Structure 1
Amino acid sequence: MSELTQFDGMRMKIASPEKIRSWSHGEVKKPETINYRTLKPEKDGLFCEKIFGPTKDYECSCGKYKRIRYKGVVCEKCGVEVTKSKVRRERMGHIELAAPVSHIWYFKGIPSKMGLLLDMSPRILEKILYFASYVVINPGESGLSVKQEISETEYQETIENNPDDQEFRAAMGAEAVRELLSNIDLEKEYEILMKELEDSTGQKKVRISRRLEVVDAFMTSGNRPEWMILDVLPVMPPELRPMVQLEGGRFATSDLNDLYRRVINRNNRLKRLLDIGAPEIIVRNEKRMLQEAVDALIDNGRRGRAVTGASNRNMKSLSDLLKGKSGRFRQNLLGKRVDYSGRSVIVVGPDLKFNQCGLPQEMALELFKPFIMNKVVDRGMAHNLKSAKKMVEKKDPRVYDVLEEVIKDHPVLLNRAPTLHRLGIQSFEPVLVEGKAIKLHPLACNAFNADFDGDQMAIHLPLSNEAQIEARLLMMSTNNILGLKDGKPITTPSQDMVLGAYYLTTIKEGAKGEGMVFNSTNEMKKALLTGDVEYQTRVSVRVRKNSEDVGKIVESSVGRFIYNEGIPQDLGYVNRKDDPYSLEINQVADSGVLKDIVDRCFRRHGNIKTAEVLDYIKQTGYKYSTLSGLTVSMADVNIPKEKWNIIADADNEVDKYEKLYRRGLITDDERYEKVIDIWRETTDKVTEALLTDLRDDNNIKIFADSGARGSTNQIRQLGGMRGLMSQADGKTIEIPVKANFREGLSVQEYFISSHGSRKGLTDTALRTADSGYLTRRMVDISQDVIVTEDDCHTDGYVEAYEFKDGNELVENLYTRIVGRTSFEDIKDSDGELLCSKDQLIDEDTAEKIVAAGVKKVKLRSVLECKAEHGVCAKCYGRNLATGKPVNIGEAVGIIAAQSIGEPGTQLTMRTFHSGGIAGVGITSGLPRVEELFEARKPKGLAYIAENSGTVTLIQNEKKTDVEIESEDGYVQKYNIPFGSRLLVHDGDVVKKGDQLTEGSLDPHDVLAVLGKVGVQNYITKEVQKVYRIQGVEIDDRHIEVIARQMLKKVKIDESGDTEFLPGSLQERREVNAINEKLIEEGKRPAEYTQELLGITKASLATDSWLSAASFQETTRVLTDASIKGKVDDLMGLKENIIIGKLIPAGTGMKRYNDVEIDYETKELEDAQIAMNIEAIEEAENEEQMQK
């Protein structure tokens, strides 16, 4: 590792003028860039070689010194140092400003740092900085006060009225502000503010604590307030703001050059005006223009109109280079383009093994080029690398043999965008294929969410030995059989594979050869070949376990005997102690059964065996779905005879309600509800009639029943009736589509259908973007949650019980406790031990606990984890991807974010209008998840009982009030607004935290009433509710990890003997640790309130300024960090990626890296390849030079 990455933290500070001058290699005095005739940089200009270094390697500007032997010589003629041209990316210059200017970040931010420090409003500060008003620096005998803003007229009057006052001084512009800043005595200011804080309340208190924060920041960081005003401006290295010649001889240049040019021009003009003693008003105007030019350079458009370029486009300033998706952080530091990669269209590879992918020869030749050349030279097929390179490029036939050898045992990584979870990148063994398309194993599609309708995938090559080992051991597709969100198999057979299995394991009554008995399966297969039996025939076969065994006659179908040959016979479907001979899979294998087979196989036999079984299921599935000849035709869609009678009855019913409405006996709303109900029932009746008519051997029915393709809903639309459609706002249209697709829709029906279709497509597009943004915020908040130790020995726990929504079960106890660590011994009613303390609860134990009738289980949870950084393995529990306890180094935070975000795209976007309540929408789907994680006040706010007690309802004219009397006689009154639906009745007994009205609770209210655990339970339950409605299962722990990060901070109420500022946000763990120490020493601890932050706020409140700056509001975060002199300890993943270090998770952790290895001989191959790559680059450079 290079010396540059050997550091433990990064500090951000304000640069003093001396610091800026020390960075610089010379002053830029002229606005010129390059000479358009000679194309050489102008001296003292923005690209000057004397300041920034030579444009050509080891060659001075005038050409006196050339070649490497003069390295380090400074040419006496042109003043350029002879060195590599690369220094032009590193060397900075500076501009000495003729008048001080303010730095716009510190003056314009919200809140304005300069304004807070001087206790002046930003509006007044702006007037002073831009020469519209004076500010009093020394009032003398004028009777004015320091920092008072006065106009030009007032200034003149004051001077005229006090001609003898030598003390009075007022000024304008950045000079005046700098003087005020340098006059501040920080210690004294701090003491005054602390005193004021004790006596103040409300808004005043907030303002003082904000000021205190800034004063404290300057005191502790060693920054001086006057450094916020610039005397000298640094100039960026020229290679980072390049100027390139286009074909037509014109030049394209970075916007920064134009912005710097404006500053230099105005600065030089100001210098000249000062030299010739120009009138004050002209100088003042020039100073203001210089201030505006510097503002535009630092942050264009922050104040006033943005400076525009040639085509009226806003110029990109220094701030714009850092901000947003295309800024330095997100575009170049958090993600980079890499070598040794390619992309191509994917096609299905049904003949591949589960750990293989098909790699096109041409692509392989290019990807493995250096490796091939190395081998070619080794074998003596070429004398040097140059000729080896030509050989590869000309595609010499001998090269392909070498390629075969090189790719053997060298895994490649496949990735499909968008990478929504970590299974979007997996490694495979490459197999060379003809053509130009990458071949992908059909079972890997699910994890990548890939299909073969033109999807593209990228391929990457792991180069180093470590990378290859990790690719093989951690990322190989055979090691990624389970999904991360719920620990269930993600590589489950689908479509053709399911159809083949279903066809093979179905029994047809009365099939040819029924009842035949065979001595062995071989005998049965012969009978199959001769046509004596069919695959679906029920037969009996003698099954033996070994050659001497007499065995036992087992009855099943021919297909099932064949199918069981590749399935392990110990998956737990049959009790093998009592019955060693029966077939393991003696049922119809539909998609659910196949999923269960994979799950059981993984739990019992691990991933290698499971991969083999998956390949077997794939092969037999494809083989027998082809043999079955199952297909779908128009004739398979039977329209039930009684359809139109059912519809006629419904029409009569609807007429009846129409008449009642016209006579005024029911309201329009009631009529609408009835009509909708009638058509819903009618659609169900037609569907029932259709399904009853379908025979068991109907192909469409087989497709749907097996789970291969389609559903009852689709069959209904094909042969029944399409039914009711919804409008774009989610309201159901009361005119149903009576036709089905076989009959064809009328024009009106077609238009009714098109509403929902268009809404569906728009929704999908919006949902994808929203879901991606939600994932990004969750990754940001949880990226530093890593398993760092084995056991934190916490005394905190959470209670798991089944989640119910009213009478509807959201999540049962079994799902909630499986894979978690028990906090205490769990016993049944007889006192028998079911699970001991700190034991991992597996499936069997969980079943026992539920069977014993235990209703609540105390569990270890990440919420209560006391680990110093991240979380401990015991509090987290089982790793969902492996089914084993989680390893130290697992990045559980990012896994949580991905697991919640990945299915987010499937969630709907709509807001339901609950019947009767006008305008109060209950948010559901993705917006509801976002609302919860952002800790927003929900739409349709519900009331919460703040105390336990008995309910009394008080009826008023328009509304009902609720009173709750607790046992101690205290009465709490709630004014319920009109239109809210009550969930409690008179005389009900409610518990603290119960919901009183319909709607959603505000998480902040839940926190206030039920505390930390209560709000975490609420968030978990509500998020689960949204996902379960959509049929998506997510493990509770993922939601807990995010909730934990939302509850990390506390607000200091009283600082006690700590150094915390009242009103500041601090980390709970840190405050608790300091408090414990203080209590031991007999001092006063800090008092605090638990805070619940939304994920965006929490991400920005993180201790790491690098992580926060790369997330959002870059300029604000960097301004804040520089004033506070913040140190980033590089604990999270993002910070380390930004600075190019290994991430502190997985194999990148120190504990796995600081390992000493005793070795005698080291393979030289890696070094050889590295040398070869360098040699190729040199050869290519040489070729370029020759050209």
Structure 2
Amino acid sequence: ALPSKIEQLKSIRKGALLTETQYQDLKQQYEDVFQAEMGAEAILKLLKEIDLDALRSQLIQETHSSSGQRRRKASKQLQLVEAFRRSGNKPEWMILTVLPVLPPELRPMVQLDGGRFATSDLNDLYRRVINRNNRLRHLAEIGAPGIIIRNEKRMLQEAVDTLIDNGRRGRAIAVSGDHKAKSLSDMLRGKQGRFRQNLLGKRVDYSGRSVIVVGPELKIHQCGLPRRMALELFKPFVMHRLVMEGLASNIKSARRQVDRGRPEVYDVLEDVVKERPIMLNRAPTLHRLSIQAFEPVLIDGSALQIHPLMCAAFNADFDGDQMAVHVPLSDAAVKECREMMLSTNNMLLPSCGEPVVTPTLDMVFGCYYLTTIKAGAKGEGSRLGSFEEAKLTYELGAIELRAEIEVRVDEGKRIKTSVGRIIFNEILPAELGFINKDIDKSGLKRIVADCYKRLGSDPAMGKMLDDLKDLGFKYATKSGITIAMSDIEVPVDKPKLIEKADEKTAIVENQYQRGLITDEERYNSIIEVWMDTTDGITQAIQKSMNKNGSIYMMANSGAKGNISQIRQMAGIRGLMTNPSGRIIDFPIKSSLREGLSAIEYFISTHGARKGLADTALRTSGSGYLTRRLVDVTQDVIVREYDCGTEDGVWLKEPEEKDVLPPFAERMTGRMAATQIVNPETGEIIIDRNQEIDEMIAKTIVASGITSVYVRSPLSCQLKQGVCQLCYGRDLARGRLIELSTAVGIIAAQSIGEPGTQLTLRTFHTGGVVGLDITTGLPRVEELFEARPPKTQAIISEIDGMAEVINNEEGKRIKVTSYDVYNDEYKLPEGWELLVSHGQWVDSGNVIAAPPQDSNQTYAELIVNNLTARSSGEVIIQDGKMYIKVEEKEEREYVVPAAIHIRIQDGDMVKAGQQLTDGSINPHDILMVLGKEAVQRYLVDEVQKVYCSQGVHINDKHVEVIVRQMLSKVRIDSPGDYDIVPRELVDRFRYEEIN
């Protein structure tokens, strides 16, 4: 029994944990040998005994000598010890010996009507602590057994834990019923916590909210404010003015007059509202255009009126949306609203620089109707002397609005146009020239963008937009556009095409029944057949549609709808997805015009319901992504004009044209990092540090240049923030970014805002195949968090020849790299060569010896010999000696069974090339190809997600985020510096140290 007792004694170590039974056993046998306690008291004693300096030396020793898990654990501990030493804190200070109590005002108790009390949860939690503390004191005084006291201490500790963070340990304590008690941590945590609810943003006085309605007669900088709201919002200003103008003797009587709503009060109100703009905000506030300032126009009624062109910026529509109104109070706030927040100063999207005030819907349709030519219209072919004469003839009813006519413009020059086009051109600035073509949505967008380039925030720009709006509404009304069931014509070829498809699917089913094809092949074949049939019916619809019909004009003008929706109404609904995103191999053959059968209806509800569920779920995901992006980029601010770097990034013509933004668009608004020269003429297109604008970008593309070296936030060398030249153009203003602009926040908002659009996109398509974006938001998160993708692609780590091995063990790819070179050996004079030409030598073999000296010992002779550095064949040529070295490097990759291999057997592959389907892990690219390659990969992959949804985001925003992703370096061996192994250090600090 003695050896077992010795073992037992050895197991009693300082800091070891004992169960209650172990403790009782050991205590009976060796009471005088050891001491054990429980709870925070024991930890406090142990912490007091720690010598931080000695512990640091011991841990440093351990990080150098150990490896793997032990090393990681030691370096984590070392980081903690260093934090204590640097901050001057002592470990024992981490234990509370006295519990502070919150002041009563912050944990109130209120008497209710029935004589009962409503109290803050904290009072109950404090009461539990006090009760247990008193009970413990009492038990200690009467000398209760140790086990009872220990149990009471455990309960006291639990009560304190619950007070600080309820539910962190064990079950959450409920106060009444199922309501979880709100602990101190819960007061601070989350959206309703102290920080986000009360400190980062507060509720303000002088604000109101109301439903919005359209205000088509408003100017672009105005909004309609109901009188009743205005009176409440501007109350103090109105009361002040009433006293100043002698209409009231003091503030009290002024208040009385306002409350009674006397006529003179409203006269004063008219003047007061002219003094300051108001801010309108629509939740969710996803980017800075969700809050803008307007000049209020007083209106009757109870709803706010919004200018129709402002809907896109707020993402508002008039189906019951509400908006909040805020009144700026201080002079500085009023100035900021007028100069920076007024809607006329926010016409471009900060995310891509496109105009956000482009006309939509009926305005687009009106302009399209106005500028299209109608064949065979009254007065077609008329020849008229001037624009004025053409308009007069139209007003007299001799020609139709859309008839093609000939008009003389200059001496001897005639153009074919229509009265509609003449009217349309009258509202455009003269610099644009006469636009003589059909104007659809994209045409309007271009016109607005061109005008902004020429006019900027000039009042003429606002006037032009208002004129466009009025013209669009007027002629959309005059067009008499309608939509009826009879406008939807089912194509004649449809039954034939469906019959053909049924025959093909019957053949496939037959092959499957006979066991000739697998279930997966049958499924893919059927999907393919119906996809082709859907395309066939779409083409048939396009051929048979009436070009002057309402539906065609709506879709063609870009006002509303597209061919896919027309196909569902008139042709075939086609294939649908089930909730998991898999295509159901039973197509809906009916169109919405013909009506669906019961089974077809149920299949189609899958997609619609998934759309609604996704909308709800992923909207929150997008908001959370934006918050995380803001968190990492909020300190990226433009701090200097030029950081002085020579570096930049290469922008190349994209290989996949439709998946990424066009080359010209990607370089526009950047500063050139080197001089760009026309390769054919040698003429300098642009100098270093000059902005590549739209014209220069066109010139570069036209001259055949396929890659340009530009400044980028990725290569900016400023330690904090970025410089003006590396960032380039401010997309929302169309000029060089100003100093101290918070470009990090703009980048986060630009990426986060369409995130919600991505999530809402599935809803509008009713769940039709090919449009659901399961890749959307989760893919963006995956990239920014740089986590390994779900289906990870294999990439080659070396250049070489690929061999695809497929045997019973599974699929493998072997990449072999051969490198042959001649290694030269210089022989000192008089040395004797011991090998001959063509002889094979192994590494370490003696190939030459010095002239023999009779005094040297045998050992000295061997030491002085020349040996082969590597194995190979000896070559003696022109008096020189080489060894022909063949280096062979092999890498083997195991390919999972279901994964498709992208390369053929015998292909030459490059390092970093993708060998199988799937997404590449960014960490692999960083390891194999380096930092620049992974930066380019991340930017391109994020762009692919947004481009596939038709969302434009400038590369710069993604680059700002990627810059922050690569801003830290992990130190593996710190050398002599005061850094802990595996610690993350800022990149610039690391470069300084090195």
The amino acid across from 2:439 in the alignment is A
Higher relative contact order (CA 8 A, sep 6+): 1
1:673 matched to which residue of 2? 524
1:429 matched to which residue of 2? 295
1:821 matched to which residue of 2? 671
2:211 maps to 1:345:
yes
Question: More displaced, 444-453 or 702-711?
Answer: 702-711
User: Quick check: 2:802–2:813 contact (8 Å CA) kept in 1?
Assistant: no
2:817 matched to which residue of 1? 965
CA RMSD across the alignment: 2.5
Question: More displaced, 555-564 or 433-442?
Answer: 555-564
2:454 maps to 1:586:
no
2:876 matched to which residue of 1? none
Task: Tell me the CA shift for residue 990 of structure 1.
Answer: 2.2
In 2, the alpha carbon distance for the partners of 1:324 and 1:534 equals 64
Task: Tell me the CA shift for residue 477 of structure 1.
Answer: 1.1
Change (3 A) 1:523 1:313: same
1:24 matched to which residue of 2? none
1:682 matched to which residue of 2? 533
Task: Tell me the CA shift for residue 417 of structure 1.
Answer: 0.8
What are the residue-to-residue correspondences of 1:601-616 with 2, within 5 Å? 601-608=451-458, 609-616=460-467
In 2, the alpha carbon distance for the partners of 1:332 and 1:985 equals 62
Which of 414, 417, 422 is the matching residue for 1:556? 417
In 1, the alpha carbon distance for the partners of 2:761 and 2:565 equals 22
Task: Tell me the CA shift for residue 494 of structure 1.
Answer: 1.0
SS in 2 for 1:372: helix
In 2, the alpha carbon distance for the partners of 1:381 and 1:280 equals 83
In 1, the alpha carbon distance for the partners of 2:254 and 2:594 equals 67
Q: What count of residue pairs does the alignment treat as equivalent?
A: 907
User: Quick check: 1:818–1:841 contact (8 Å CA) kept in 2?
Assistant: yes
In 1, the alpha carbon distance for the partners of 2:28 and 2:597 equals 92
The amino acid across from 1:584 in the alignment is F
Which of 714, 723, 746 is the matching residue for 1:872? 723
Change (3 A) 1:876 1:960: same
1:834 matched to which residue of 2? 685
1:12 matched to which residue of 2? none
In 1, the alpha carbon distance for the partners of 2:470 and 2:448 equals 15
What are the residue-to-residue correspondences of 1:899-918 with 2, within 5 Å? 899-907=750-758
User: Quick check: 1:301–1:307 contact (8 Å CA) kept in 2?
Assistant: yes
The amino acid across from 2:435 in the alignment is I
2:262 maps to 1:396:
yes
SS in 1 for 2:911: coil
Change (3 A) 1:658 1:314: closer
SS in 2 for 1:408: helix
In 2, the alpha carbon distance for the partners of 1:720 and 1:312 equals 54
Superposed CA deviations along residues 269-307 of structure 1, whole A, max 9, x for unmatched, are 334444555554544443333322222211222223333
1:1008 matched to which residue of 2? 927
Task: Tell me the CA shift for residue 699 of structure 1.
Answer: 1.7
Which of 373, 387, 390 is the matching residue for 1:521? 387
1:249 matched to which residue of 2? 115
1:1060 matched to which residue of 2? 979
2:805 matched to which residue of 1? 954
In 2, the alpha carbon distance for the partners of 1:511 and 1:156 equals 106
2:849 matched to which residue of 1? none
1:775 matched to which residue of 2? 626
1:726 matched to which residue of 2? 577
What are the residue-to-residue correspondences of 1:131-150 with 2, within 5 Å? 145-149=13-17
The amino acid across from 2:512 in the alignment is Y
In 1, the alpha carbon distance for the partners of 2:585 and 2:90 equals 71
The amino acid across from 2:788 in the alignment is K
1:810 matched to which residue of 2? 660
In 2, the alpha carbon distance for the partners of 1:397 and 1:992 equals 81
What are the residue-to-residue correspondences of 1:393-542 with 2, within 5 Å? 393-542=259-408
User: Quick check: 2:38–2:150 contact (8 Å CA) kept in 1?
Assistant: no
Which of 989, 1005, 1027 is the matching residue for 2:946? 1027
SS in 1 for 2:913: coil
Task: Tell me the CA shift for residue 393 of structure 1.
Answer: 1.1
The amino acid across from 2:924 in the alignment is D
What are the residue-to-residue correspondences of 1:58-69 with 2, within 5 Å? none
Change (3 A) 1:398 1:852: same
In 2, the alpha carbon distance for the partners of 1:275 and 1:747 equals 79
1:650 matched to which residue of 2? 501
In 2, the alpha carbon distance for the partners of 1:225 and 1:924 equals 48
2:988 matched to which residue of 1? 1069
What are the residue-to-residue correspondences of 1:238-317 with 2, within 5 Å? 238-275=104-141, 277-317=143-183
2:430 matched to which residue of 1? 569
Change (3 A) 1:1069 1:142: closer
Task: Tell me the CA shift for residue 922 of structure 1.
Answer: 12
Change (3 A) 1:835 1:285: same
Change (3 A) 1:568 1:175: same
In 2, the alpha carbon distance for the partners of 1:159 and 1:959 equals 62
In 1, the alpha carbon distance for the partners of 2:153 and 2:507 equals 84
1:1119 matched to which residue of 2? none
In 1, the alpha carbon distance for the partners of 2:462 and 2:205 equals 31
SS in 1 for 2:296: strand
Change (3 A) 1:152 1:976: closer
Question: More displaced, 643-652 or 146-155?
Answer: 146-155
2:449 maps to 1:599:
yes
1:987 matched to which residue of 2? 906
User: Quick check: 2:619–2:760 contact (8 Å CA) kept in 1?
Assistant: no
User: Quick check: 2:501–2:533 contact (8 Å CA) kept in 1?
Assistant: yes
Task: Tell me the CA shift for residue 908 of structure 1.
Answer: 6.0
The amino acid across from 2:191 in the alignment is K
2:551 maps to 1:700:
yes
SS in 2 for 1:799: strand
Question: More displaced, 980-989 or 410-419?
Answer: 980-989
In 2, the alpha carbon distance for the partners of 1:386 and 1:783 equals 47
In 2, the alpha carbon distance for the partners of 1:509 and 1:172 equals 95
In 2, the alpha carbon distance for the partners of 1:1007 and 1:686 equals 47
User: Quick check: 2:796–2:815 contact (8 Å CA) kept in 1?
Assistant: no
In 2, the alpha carbon distance for the partners of 1:949 and 1:972 equals 10
The amino acid across from 2:14 in the alignment is V
Superposed CA deviations along residues 617-651 of structure 1, whole A, max 9, x for unmatched, are 10000111111212112222222333323323333
User: Quick check: 1:818–1:843 contact (8 Å CA) kept in 2?
Assistant: yes
Task: Tell me the CA shift for residue 979 of structure 1.
Answer: 3.0
2:754 maps to 1:886:
no
Structure 2 portions without partners, runs of 5+? 1-8, 763-771, 820-886
Q: Percent identity?
A: 54
Change (3 A) 1:157 1:1036: closer
Change (3 A) 1:155 1:780: closer
The amino acid across from 1:181 in the alignment is L
The amino acid across from 2:666 in the alignment is R
Change (3 A) 1:746 1:923: closer
Superposed CA deviations along residues 24-56 of structure 1, whole A, max 9, x for unmatched, are xxxxxxxxxxxxxxxxxxxxxxxxxxxxxxxxx
Change (3 A) 1:637 1:312: closer
In 2, the alpha carbon distance for the partners of 1:599 and 1:656 equals 55
In 2, the alpha carbon distance for the partners of 1:224 and 1:735 equals 70
Question: More displaced, 778-787 or 173-182?
Answer: 173-182
2:917 matched to which residue of 1? 998
In 2, the alpha carbon distance for the partners of 1:938 and 1:663 equals 39
2:939 maps to 1:1017:
no
What are the residue-to-residue correspondences of 1:78-93 with 2, within 5 Å? none
The amino acid across from 2:669 in the alignment is G
SS in 1 for 2:224: strand
Give the TM-score normalised by the residue count of structure 1.
0.73
Task: Tell me the CA shift for residue 519 of structure 1.
Answer: 3.9
In 1, the alpha carbon distance for the partners of 2:359 and 2:339 equals 24
In 1, the alpha carbon distance for the partners of 2:331 and 2:493 equals 70
SS in 1 for 2:709: strand
Task: Tell me the CA shift for residue 569 of structure 1.
Answer: 2.7
The amino acid across from 1:759 in the alignment is K
The amino acid across from 1:565 in the alignment is E
Structure 1 portions without partners, runs of 5+? 1-140, 545-549, 572-582, 912-920, 1076-1084, 1086-1187
In 2, the alpha carbon distance for the partners of 1:270 and 1:560 equals 92
